[in-house]
Every structure is written in structure tokens, then in C-alpha cells.
A and B are shown apart, each in its own frame.
Chain A
Amino acid sequence: MLGQRFVSFIRPLTRAYAPKWPRPKPGTAERPPYRAPDPLINNPSATVTPLLDEDLTFIHRPPPTAPSPISYTTNPISPLLKPFSQTSSALPPLLRPSAEKSTPQRLTAEQIAEIRRLRALDPVKWTRGRLAKKFECTQQFVALVAATKKSTRAKLIQRRDEEHAANRAKWSEKRSLVAAISQKRRQYW
């Protein structure tokens, strides 16, 4: 009787997904199909718990990017709450190329005075961005150091908003719809 029992699960000799043949044509941009690694095999974050009373094995494989919701004061998950420790390890690449820039040098008192003079002279011509580029500092620094008067600022902002609203009125219905959809999507981030 044992000999007549067949193996209930027979591993197929050929995969159904990402087949090996037909091979990618050499000398072309074709590449072999991507074989995703099986998350069930050799998962480093898997925790195996034998449940002896039920004669079962419980294997928990959390998704790799799920943030842990459990954080205790005795064992916090945020590095801010843990004592500072330096570990040298290779870090993933920065998100945007602008982050690679180093912090700008401190400006001298004369340069700051010059920024203030130009800004007071003609805030429409000497905008924050233009001054930042000229003196090699950030726009925020220019705003901190040479802020325009509240009344002037309010007028400039109002003029800018009116200009933008006039441009938006010229948009086609489809473009307005796309912009509205992306604005709504922003709420669901």
C-alpha cells in the first residue's frame, strides 16, 4: 500500500514564470527576465516559534518595510531615544542631488550689509533667490537677514497670487482637472 502512495506535491521541472527559454537575443537590449528571490527561503527577519502544546511551528515573516508599531520606553525603536552611538556602515544614496551640497560658508558683516542694502533698494529686482545666488547662501538666510517690511511683502505676495490665478484661468479644463486631482492626492499622503 505504501508503494502505491504517490507524492502529493511534485515540484515542476520548469518554472511557469520568468522562463529561461527563449533566451534573450545577443547583441540587443533584451535581458533575461528578473527572478525575484523567494521571501520564504533564507529570510533574515523571520522568527520561528515552536508551539509545543499544539505541535505546530509558528513562523513570523514581517514585511521588510513595515515600521514597527511597538515602542516601549525601556526598548525604544527610535534612535533619538536611544543613547548616541556611532556605527560606521555603508549608507544608501541621498534622495536628491541637492543634498550632496555642503553647507555654505558664513557671510561677513559687510556682505550681510550689502544684501540688506540691495533688498531695501528694489525688492522686486533683488529677489531672495537672486541674492542667494549672488552671495552663495540660501534663500532662507536672505529672508532671515533681509526681510522686507510686512506691508511690502503682503503687496508682493498679492501681486504674485493674482498673476498665478490669471495664468490658472487660462488653463484648459483637462489641465485644471489633473492639477485638482494631484492636489487631492496630496491630502492622502
Chain B
Amino acid sequence: MGHVQRRLASTTARLASSLSTAHLQKFPPKELLYIKGREIPTATIDPDTWASLQSPPPTALSAFAHRIGLSSVLTSTEAIQQVCTHPSFVQLLKQHKPHEQEPATNAQLSAIGNSLMGLFATEYIRATYPYLPTRVMKAAVTAHVGPLPCANVAQEMGATPLLRWHRSRGTILKPGVLHSDALASIPRALTALVYQRRSLPSARQFVHSYFLSREIDLRGMIKFLDPKKALLEMVKKFQRELPKSRLLKETGRFSNSPVFVVGIFSGEDQLGEGFGSSLKMAEYRAAEDALLRVYLTRTPPHLVQLPSQTFPVGVGDVYRELPEGDYTPADLVESEIMYASSGNSFTRSS
């Protein structure tokens, strides 16, 4: 299948979003019929536009709430409708149905939910990988709860046919709205709704089960420009002997396919090991391995302590006068090295 056919198929799938007309009182509606008396009959509205203006059937909304396990939280179809309505839809509705009441959108809920998800992801990654550099931690947070995973989770939940939105081009003042942006607002709004109607620990549970259980490849996110320099700084921080590379094994020197295995040692401790087709390459990889062994050290899952555990459990907000939850803070570890970090991002010099 060529790329043109694939794009057509995906566009059609997005447009013809399983629209059911069973819940409509009258079908076909007047707008889709030809105007009587006109010479050349034309419908007042384009069928695709009409379809995008329709609200999904209440049965589909209810099914969605049950499918994601929030049927007790999303008790009314209005709440689910609000979650699935992107603010860009209001403009479209006003354009074609100016007399209809403005629907409730998920703009505020999405903003609250986004902040909450960022909080939960950051505390989880910080607790799980205490030695991870800040820039990698930020990338990991984006990989867990960023716009792309939010859109993917919304699709997996089956919210695509329920979404009401309108595509818009970006201007200098306002950014454009794409399908993935609109979809991403749905899980964020759900998080905020769980937080409002239940509690912060419940919202955290929602985010953990849908987002923080996803597999992320951290190793691929960590790139080095000069790993030997970074390792030297790290070893100095830990106050050990300066690293020296030693040749562990080699074969095929002076042939067209040599293999060298080099280890980087601090005194007698081997910090890392790497192979390569040249001595320099093997040393580079050994330095990378030594750094990754530290950065990717994780806390065992049963020992992870999250600061938001201190908030009281049970339905209600976090400001209630109740005893705090149990929380044992982890020991502070060595801070990250300054080389290749963002430094003090908020000062003028950097």
C-alpha cells in the first residue's frame, strides 16, 4: 500500500468515526436535505462537517467510562462529554450553529491534569533512578506523560470516535491544533476529574496504571559527547583513583576486522567494559558503559518511596486535617556532574 493510500485510509478512519445516528430524534436532519425550490439543489452543510459537529451517542460515552474503569467517577454522560470536548470545537460549533449553547470543554481540566501528571511522573522517576542526570530525567518524564504518550493512551482507551475537536492552522499568536494535541487532552482531563471527584492518591494511581507502567528505553536516551571527560569528573566526585584504560582481550590486530575489549579501571576496580574495532572505539564504549552503570541504577520497585505518599488517603482534598501517610525519604546521593548538564539554566551566564 503506497503512502497516499495509507494517508487516505487514516483520514477516512478519523473522519468516519463510528458515528451512530440511533440517538438522534430526527434523521436525516434538515441541514443535510436539499433546499426546496432551488434550481441547483445544494445541502446547507457539508456531510463531513455535519458529522464532526455531532456529539457521540450516550451509549458510547458510557461504554468508554466503563472500559477505562472510571464508571463510578464519571457518573454522568455530561462529565464524559466534557472530557472528550477540546476547546477548538467551540469555534467550529459557533461557526455552523451560532444559536446553540457553548459546550463545556476540557481546557481547564486538561491544564490541571497535565500538571498533576508531570508531578507524579517526576517523583516516580526521581525515586526510581536517583543517579539519572536532570536532562535525561526530563526526557524520561516526556516519554512517560508527554503529548505523544497521552495521545497514544487516548487511542488505546478508544476515545478517538468520542473526541470533538476542530483542526486549525498555527498563527504567530496561537499554536495550531492537530489531532494528537486534541487526543492528548483527554487523559489529562480524566486525571484532573479523578483528582477533583476522588483524591490525589487516586489520580496518582490512575497515572501509574496507564502511563508509568509503560516500557521506556532510558539507555537510548542517554548520549555522550565525551564520555571519558564525563567519567573523569564523576570519579573525582566520588573521590576515587583516576580512571585508566586497560586492554582485556584482543584479536585480529593489523587485520581488516580487529576486535578489542577494553576495561576502564579506577585503581583495581573495573568501572566499565567496552568492545570495538579500534582501541579508541573500545575505550569510548568502556567509558560509556561505566557511566551508564551508575546512571541506570534503580531502586527496587518495592522500596520506591514517593513524596506524595504523605497526603492522606480517602475521598477529599489534600488540605484535610488528617495524619500524614508513611514516608521514608531516600538517602541523598552524589549530585550530577556539571559537564554536559544544562548547568544553572536560569542564570544569565548559561
Q: Residues of A with Cβ closer than 8 Å to B?
A: 65, 67-69, 71-74, 76-81, 84, 86-89, 91-96, 99, 189
Contacts and interface: CB of A to CB of B under 8 A. Distances in A.
B284 interface: yes
A15 B317 CA distance: 77
A80 B275 contact: no
B271 A91 contact: no
B293 A95 contact: no
Q: Chain A interface mostly helix, strand, loop or mixed?
A: loop
Contact of A78 (B245, B265, B268, B271): B271
Given A72-B299, A72-B300, 15 more contacts: A65-B261, A67-B272, A67-B273, A72-B298, A74-B299, A78-B293, A79-B266, A79-B270, A80-B234, A80-B240, A80-B294, A86-B268, A92-B248, A95-B246, A189-B276
A78 B231 CA distance: 12
Contacts of A87: 268
B281 interface: yes
B9 interface: no
Interface string B278-307: 010101110001101110111110010000
B273 to A, nearest CB: 6
Interface centre among A68, A84, A189, by most chain B C-beta atoms within 10 angstroms, is: A189
B78 interface: no
A91 B268 contact: yes
B215 to A, nearest CB: 13
Given A73-B298, A95-B247, A80 B273 contact: no
The range of chain B's interface size is 35 or more
Contacts of A93: 246-247
Contacts of B262: 95
Contacts of A68: 293
Contacts of A89: 268
Contacts of A80: 234-235, 238, 240, 266, 269, 271, 294
Contact of A69 (B131, B270, B296): B296
Contacts of A69: 219, 296
11 contacts: A67-B293, A71-B293, A71-B298, A73-B299, A73-B300, A73-B303, A80-B266, A91-B246, A95-B245, A95-B279, A99-B245
B197 interface: no
A95 B276 CA distance: 13
Given A88-B268, A95-B245, A71 B296 contact: yes
